[in-house]
């Protein structure tokens, strides 16, 4: 079922890359041969990855060295599917030989025609952290909440109010006094 969603993404992303003349028919065929997968469900920092086979040091990797393109499973939810398309586009840019996030890469990345998707990374990261959070660190002054995996144990201050943050278990929507 999941794989079907990845194929659906691919069926949107590859034609756009053709329109942008980033790939030709032959490259499209090669991209289609790359196995698609999912990254760990509880990953919060990594949103997607293009995995290459190991090669000799200093060797320039090409499309033939790609082992897998993997997307975060949470990005396949309807709410984030626009971002998932952009993630796949980003990883395919790596796959076609743009290994580093250099200025060339960023320029190519910026050609993706969905502005919301291009700016969704931060919000998606926050969404993942709040999902995996066991604790909320809350400022008793301004009520700003920071979802975290560990307790703050009185070690952190609100950046704005300079007041010690209070721990409360995550999943609890109301603050208990």
**Residues in touch with Zn ion (CB under 5 A):** 139, 141-142, 158, 160-161
> Residue 169, Cα to own-chain centre: how many angstroms?
26
Beta carbon of residue 1, minimum distance to Zn ion (angstroms, whole number): 27
Comparing CA positions, the residue from 121, 64, 122 lying closest to residue 90 is: 121
Beta carbon of residue 134, minimum distance to Zn ion (angstroms, whole number): 21
Q: How many whole angstroms separate alpha carbon 160 and alpha carbon 142? A: 8
The pairs formed by 156-161 with CB atoms below 8 angstroms and a separation of 24 or more are none
End-to-end CA distance of the chain: 44
Question: In terms of CB distance, is 104 or 142 closer to Zn ion?
Answer: 142
Beta carbon of residue 141, minimum distance to Zn ion (angstroms, whole number): 4
Question: In terms of CB distance, is 7 or 160 closer to Zn ion?
Answer: 160
The pairs formed by 59-64 with CB atoms below 8 angstroms and a separation of 24 or more are 60/97, 60/99, 61/97, 61/99, 62/97, 63/27, 63/30, 63/31, 63/95, 63/96, 63/97, 64/30
Beta carbon of residue 166, minimum distance to Zn ion (angstroms, whole number): 11
Question: In terms of CB distance, is 78 or 97 closer to Zn ion?
Answer: 97
Question: In terms of CB distance, is 16 or 25 closer to Zn ion?
Answer: 16
Beta carbon of residue 144, minimum distance to Zn ion (angstroms, whole number): 5
Question: In terms of CB distance, is 25 or 105 closer to Zn ion?
Answer: 105
Comparing CA positions, the residue from 12, 57, 47, 42 lying closest to residue 132 is: 42
């Amino acid at each position: 079922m999941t794989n079907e969603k990845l194929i659906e993404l691919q069926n949107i992303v590859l034609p756009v890359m053709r329109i942008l003349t980033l790939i030709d028919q032959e490259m499209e065929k090669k991209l289609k041969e790359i196995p698609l997968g999912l990254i760990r469900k509880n990953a919060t920092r990594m949103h997607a990855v293009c995995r290459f086979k190991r090669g000799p040091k200093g060797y320039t990797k090409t499309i033939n060295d790609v082992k897998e393109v993997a997307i975060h499973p949470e990005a396949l939810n309807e709410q984030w599917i626009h971002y998932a398309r952009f993630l796949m586009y980003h990883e395919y840019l790596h796959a076609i030989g743009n290994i580093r996030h250099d200025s060339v890469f960023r320029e190519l990345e910026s050609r993706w025609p969905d502005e919301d998707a291009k700016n969704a990374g931060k919000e998606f990261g926050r969404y993942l952290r709040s999902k995996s959070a066991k604790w909320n660190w809350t400022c008793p002054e301004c009520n700003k909440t920071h979802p975290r995996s560990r307790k703050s144990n009185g070690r952190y201050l609100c950046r704005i109010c300079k007041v010690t943050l209070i721990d409360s278990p995550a999943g609890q929507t109301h603050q208990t006094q």
